[in-house]
A and B are shown apart, each in its own frame.
Chain A
C-alpha cells in the first residue's frame, strides 16, 4: 500500500491536516496567526542551515522553528505590543532563509519544494516523521486540554485555579514548531499558517463546544488534504496550494451557510 506514491501523499496530507487542524483551533482562539507565520517562515532558514550542516531537513526546520517560537514567546511576555516585532521576525527570517539557501555552495536546490511543499515525493521515513510528530501534538493537547482551554479563556481564571498560563503558552509554542517541521514537506513554509487557520475557521460555524470545533476542524483538514490531492493530480497543479484551495472552498461554503442560517 505504501509503495504507491499517491497513497503516501494522501497519508502525509491527512496526518499533517489532523495535527494542524487541532492545533489550529488554539491558533484561532488565541489570535496567534502572525505568530504561526513567523514560525513557519523561519522554516526556510532552517532548510538552509540543514543543507549547510548536512543534517536532516526536518531537524533543521524543527530547530530553527523552535528557536523562533521561543524568541517570540519571550517577547510576548513583555508588556509592549509585539505585532511589529513579529512582522520583522517573520519576513526577516524568510528573506534571510531565501538568501542563505541560494548561497549554499555546490547545491542547486528546488526552493519551490520548501516554499509550497512537495508531498508527492514523501518517503516512508517522512511518513513516519509526520504521523509520529502529529501523534505527539495530538497527545499533548489531549493531555493538557483543560488547562489550555482555561488559560485561553482567561489567564486570570487559570492563575486563580493554580494553573500557569505562561506554561500553556509555551506548550503551544513548542507544538507550533513541531507542526511546522512536520508540515513543510506537505504544504510548504508559505502555506502552513493556512493549514492551521482555515479548517478551524470553517469548523467554527458548526460547533457549539471547543471539542466539537476541534474534531470538525481535524475532519475538514483531512478532507481538504485528500480532495486537494485528487484535484492536483486531475489538473496537474502543485498539491500544497490545491489543498489550501479546497480548504478555502470549504470555508466559503461554511461561511455562506452560516449567513443563510442567520437570515432564515
Chain B
C-alpha cells in the first residue's frame, strides 16, 4: 500500500489559493521529485504532507506508524541558542553515540560531532540535517530544496549521497527542487507543479510534455542534455563512477 496518499488537496490563506486539487501518492522505495517555478506551492505541498499546514479541503492518509525524515529548505538557528551537532542529532529522540556517528558518516560528514551548528558551512549544515533525518529510520525522506545555497558540484554530490542513503535504508524519497537536470536523473517519477499538477510521469515523459516546456521555457534544452548524460552513467556503471568521484 502507499506510504502517503493525498487526495484533492486545496490550500490557501485568505482569498489566495496556493494549491488546488493536488493528489499525490508515494509508494515504498520510490523517488519522487516535485518541480515547479517559484511560488508554485512546492514547499507548501511538502509542509501540508508533514502536517505543518492544514489543507482547506482534501484528505491525507498516511500508512500506520509512518516515520518521516524531514530535511527543511533552511533551518535558522537563533544565535542565542548554543547547540553542538551531537546535541542536534538527539532531537527529537536521544540516540547513542555510535548511531549518531554512523548517521553522520552516511550523510558524508563524519567527525563533526563536537562542532557548533552555527559554525558549519552550508553544505555541512544540510548534511547534518540529512543525518538527523535518517537517524529516525524513516520510511520516507522528504527534502525541501535541500541543496539551496550549494554550488553545482556540491548539490550533485549531495544528491548522490541521498541516493546512497536511500539504497541503504530502503526508504522512499520525496523531494522538491528547481535544479531539474541533477534531480530528474535520479527520480522514478517527476511531478510538475504550478498550483495544480501540470503533468507527471517518468523523467522522460515529463520533460517531453508541452506543459513542462511551457513552465520551464527554453532553458530546458540544455538541462535535458545534461539529464541524459547523467542518466547513462547511473545505469551503465551502477554508481561506481559517482562513488569514485567523491
With an 8 A cutoff between CB atoms, is B121 at the interface? Answer: no
Residue of A with least CB distance to B75:
A154
Contact digits for A183-212, partner B, Cβ 8 Å, 1 yes 0 no? 000000000000000001100100111111
User: How many chain B residues have a CB neighbour from A under 8 Å?
Assistant: 27
CA A79 to CA B91, docked complex, whole Å = 27
Could you tell me if A208 and B82 are in contact, using CB atoms closer than 8 angstroms?
A: yes
Could you tell me if A209 and B87 are in contact, using CB atoms closer than 8 angstroms?
A: yes
CA A28 to CA B82, docked complex, whole Å = 12
User: Which residue from B52, B75, B84, B136 sits with its C-beta under 8 Å from A159?
Assistant: B52
Query: A160 and B78 in contact (CB under 8 A), knowing A79-B13, A155-B52, A210-B87?
Result: no
Shortest CB-to-CB span from A197 to chain B, Å, is: 10
Could you tell me if B75 and A153 are in contact, using CB atoms closer than 8 angstroms?
A: yes
Shortest CB-to-CB span from A169 to chain B, Å, is: 14
Contact digits for B44-84, partner A, Cβ 8 Å, 1 yes 0 no? 00010011100000000000000011101001011011111
In chain B, residues 80-130, which have Cβ atoms closer than 8 Å to a Cβ of chain A? 80-84, 87-88, 90-94, 116
Looking at chain B's contact residues, the main secondary structure is loop
With an 8 A cutoff between CB atoms, is A107 at the interface? Answer: no
CA A210 to CA B80, docked complex, whole Å = 10
With an 8 A cutoff between CB atoms, is B142 at the interface? Answer: yes
CA A158 to CA B78, docked complex, whole Å = 16
Question: B residues within 8 A CB of A204?
Answer: 80, 82
Could you tell me if B72 and A156 are in contact, using CB atoms closer than 8 angstroms?
A: yes
Question: B residues within 8 A CB of A162?
Answer: 51
Report the number of A-B residue pairs with Cβ-Cβ less than 8 Å. 75
With an 8 A cutoff between CB atoms, is A150 at the interface? Answer: yes
Query: A146 and B91 in contact (CB under 8 A), knowing A28-B80, A152-B81?
Result: yes
Residue of B with least CB distance to A200:
B80
Interface hub of A28, A29, A153, A158 (most chain B Cβ within 10 A): A153
Q: Which residues of A are at the interface with B, using a C-beta cutoff of 8 A?
A: 28-31, 79, 146-147, 149-150, 152-163, 200-201, 204, 207-213
CA A155 to CA B88, docked complex, whole Å = 15
Per CB-CB distance, the 10 closest pairs between chain A and chain B, nearest first, are: A160-B70, A159-B52, A160-B50, A150-B92, A161-B92, A29-B81, A207-B82, A209-B87, A150-B91, A28-B80
Residue of A with least CB distance to B86:
A209
Shortest CB-to-CB span from A168 to chain B, Å, is: 11
Residue of B with least CB distance to A203:
B82
CA A180 to CA B77, docked complex, whole Å = 27
Residue of B with least CB distance to A197:
B80
Question: B residues within 8 A CB of A208?
Answer: 82, 84, 116
CA A210 to CA B52, docked complex, whole Å = 25
Shortest CB-to-CB span from B83 to chain A, Å, is: 6
Other than the known A156-B47, A159-B50, what 15 A-B pairs have Cβ atoms closer than 8 Å? Answer: A146-B90, A150-B92, A155-B52, A156-B70, A157-B91, A157-B92, A159-B47, A159-B52, A160-B51, A163-B92, A200-B80, A208-B116, A210-B81, A210-B83, A213-B81
Could you tell me if B93 and A146 are in contact, using CB atoms closer than 8 angstroms?
A: yes
Could you tell me if A147 and B92 are in contact, using CB atoms closer than 8 angstroms?
A: yes
Could you tell me if B142 and A153 are in contact, using CB atoms closer than 8 angstroms?
A: no
User: Which residue from B52, B80, B84, B91 sits with its C-beta under 8 Å from A149?
Assistant: B91
In chain B, residues 150-206, which have Cβ atoms closer than 8 Å to a Cβ of chain A? none
Interface hub of A29, A155, A160 (most chain B Cβ within 10 A): A160
Question: B residues within 8 A CB of A29?
Answer: 78, 80-81
Shortest CB-to-CB span from B172 to chain A, Å, is: 14
In chain B, residues 29-54, which have Cβ atoms closer than 8 Å to a Cβ of chain A? 47, 50-52
Shortest CB-to-CB span from B218 to chain A, Å, is: 35
CA A156 to CA B70, docked complex, whole Å = 8
Could you tell me if B51 and A159 are in contact, using CB atoms closer than 8 angstroms?
A: yes
Interface hub of A29, A146, A156 (most chain B Cβ within 10 A): A156
User: Which residue from A161, A201, A207 sits with its C-beta under 8 Å from B136?
Assistant: A161
Query: A157 and B136 in contact (CB under 8 A), knowing A201-B80, A210-B83, A210-B87?
Result: no
Question: B residues within 8 A CB of A154?
Answer: 72, 75
User: Which residue from A79, A156, A210 sits with its C-beta under 8 Å from B82?
Assistant: A210
